[in-house]
């Protein structure tokens, strides 16, 4: 299978390139980015035959079967729709759109083309969260409360590699999107009740630097999500699952119980790398002609919840 990666020199474009190194029979034949010098260096180092600053140039190449989009958030929906209209399967990093209307247009385009369109909700694939999900599915665990902290120190516009970024990140539509989809995935239904609060906007970036979100599932399970770009300390996202039969703390691909004992995840999946597992699901769905876990249709309810939360924040600001 021959693929293109757009946003190839960014933090997540790099993660996808590295993940695909471990997947047989997948060949990256084209990379796209707005940094031509860095892009050429990446392409030559990896033996990639084609690189361009124009996604449409890559979409015109008949040998390309699928595209992974790791581009700025505001481009996601329009680029994903272009990929589908060009006859390419697409995996788009989260959020698949930064408005509900654009997310709905993307889902409609996927349904019209019948191609595979997947959103990069990597939490569905991290072995730590898979371990929890499997036990919820079998009835071994019942989730009572998911407490999540998403903490970064980003008072300047930098990406996950500490490099200057050309676009502005967002706590709600990007970072909260991860947890909202995960909570609804683990509880099996959209949130029934919710609220959100945010701090003052940054004078230069123009976005809220702190946010608090509360969700309640139809089952009664709660999610408490705290987000900050002001945190000068341990960075990342930390998930505490409070269940009827134990407490578990997940940090990306690692899991421990409430007493700090590590849980063996070696038998959960073919890899302990969530991005690799996400990519494997994308390619397998294309090969099998099926809907992937994390399809844009499955992830649309998260966008509905984000839209409701945004309206809540806007009403509070008026």
Identify whether residues 187 and 281 lie together within a single domain.
no
Same structural domain, 24 and 96: yes
Tens of pLDDT, residue by residue over 273-305, are 999 999 999 999 999 999 999 999 999 999 999
Write out the chain in H/E/C secondary structure: CEEEEECCCCHHHHHHHHHHCCCCCCEEEEEECCCHHHHHHHHHHHCCCEEECCHHHHHCCCCCCEEEECCCHHHHHHHHHHHHHCCCEEEEECCCCCCHHHHHHHHHHHHHHCCCEEEECHHHCCHHHHHHHHHHHCCCCCEEEEEEEEECECCCCECCCCCECCCCCCHHHHHHHHHHHHHHHHHCCCCCEEEEEECCECCCCCCECEEEEEEECCCCCEEEEEEECECCCCCEEEEEEEECCEEEEEECCEEEECCCCECCCCCCCCCCCHHHHHHHHHHHHHHHCCCCCCEHHHHHHHHHHHHHHHHHHHHHHC
Q: Say which residue, 95 or 252, is predicted with more confidence.
A: 95
- For the cut 60, the answer to whether the pLDDT of residue 161 exceeds it is no
Q: What local confidence, expressed as pLDDT, does residue 110 receive?
A: 98
Residue 262 sits in the same domain as residue 140: yes
Q: How confident is the model at residue 315 (pLDDT cuts 50, 70, 90)?
A: confident
Considering the domain architecture, whether residues 268 and 156 belong to the same structural domain is answered as yes
- CATH number of the domain residue 102 falls in: 3.40.50.720
> Within this chain, do residues 286 and 138 fall inside the same structural domain, yes or no?
no
Of 224 and 159, the one with more pLDDT: 224
Sheet holding 66-69, edge to edge: 50-52, 27-32, 2-6, 66-69, 89-93, 117-120
pLDDT digits (tens, 9 = 90+) for 102-157: 999 999 999 999 999 999 999 999 999 999 999 999 999 999 999 999 988 765 55
Q: What is the CATH number of the domain that holds 151?
A: 3.30.360.10
Q: What is the pLDDT of residues 7-37, one digit of tens each?
A: 999 989 999 999 999 999 999 999 999 988 9
Question: Mean pLDDT over all residues of the chain?
Answer: 93
* pLDDT at residue number 233: 78
Find all residues with CB under 8 Å of 148, minimum gap 6, and list them: 179, 223, 224, 225, 226, 237, 238, 239, 240
The reply to whether 140 and 191 lie within a common domain is yes
> Looking at the structure, do residues 176 and 225 belong to the same domain, yes or no?
yes
Domain that holds residue 223: 123-273+303-317
The answer to whether residues 290 and 223 belong to one domain is no
Domains contained in the chain, number:
2
One domain, residues 75 and 129: no
Same structural domain, 20 and 166: no
Q: What is the pLDDT of residues 43-59, one digit of tens each?
A: 999 999 999 999 999 99
* Confidence check: pLDDT of 309 > 60: yes
Considering the domain architecture, whether residues 133 and 34 belong to the same structural domain is answered as: no
Task: Answer yes or no: is pLDDT of 169 > 80.
Answer: no
Mean pLDDT of all residues in 211-224: 97
Give dist(CA 218, CA 144) in Å, integer. 12
Query: Around 124, how many Cα atoms within 13 Å sit in the side-chain half-sphere?
Result: 24
CA distance 127 to 129: 6
Q: Could you give the percent of the chain with pLDDT greater than 90? A: 82
Interval 194-213: pLDDT, tens: 999 999 888 777 778 899 99
Same domain, 74 and 188: no
**pLDDT for res 164:** 57
- Residue 291, strand partner residues: none
């Amino acid at each position: 299978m021959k693929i293109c990666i757009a946003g190839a020199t960014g933090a997540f474009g790099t993660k996808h390139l590295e993940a695909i190194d471990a997947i047989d029979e997948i060949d990256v034949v084209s990379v796209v980015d707005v940094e031509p010098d860095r892009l050429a260096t990446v392409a030559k180092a990896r033996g990639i035959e084609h690189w361009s600053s124009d996604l449409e140039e890559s979409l015109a190449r008949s040998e390309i079967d699928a595209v992974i989009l790791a581009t700025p958030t505001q481009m996601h929906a329009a680029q994903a729709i272009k990929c589908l209209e060009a006859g390419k399967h697409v995996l788009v990093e989260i959020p698949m759109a930064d408005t509900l209307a654009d997310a709905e247009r993307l889902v409609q385009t996927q349904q019209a083309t019948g191609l595979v369109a997947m959103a990069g909700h990597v939490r569905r694939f991290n072995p730590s969260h898979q371990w929890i999900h499997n036990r919820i599915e079998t009835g071994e665990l019942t989730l009572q409360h998911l407490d999540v902290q998403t903490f970064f120190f980003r008072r300047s516009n930098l990406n996950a590699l500490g490099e200057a970024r050309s676009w502005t990140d967002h706590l709600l539509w990007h970072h909260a999107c991860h947890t909202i989809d995960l909570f609804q995935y683990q509880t099996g239904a959209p949130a029934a009740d919710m609220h959100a609060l945010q701090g003052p906007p940054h004078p230069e970036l123009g976005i809220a630097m702190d946010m608090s979100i509360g969700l309640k599932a139809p089952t009664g399970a709660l999610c408490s999500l705290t987000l900050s770009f002001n945190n000068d300390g341990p960075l990342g996202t930390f998930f505490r699952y409070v269940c009827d039969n134990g407490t578990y703390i997940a940090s990306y691909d690692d899991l421990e119980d409430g007493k700090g004992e590590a849980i063996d995840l070696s038998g959960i999946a073919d890899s302990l790398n969530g991005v690799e597992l996400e990519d494997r699901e994308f390619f397998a769905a294309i090969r099998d002609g099926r809907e992937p876990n994390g399809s844009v249709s499955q992830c649309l309810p998260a966008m509905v919840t984000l839209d409701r939360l945004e309206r809540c924040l806007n009403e509070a600001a008026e």
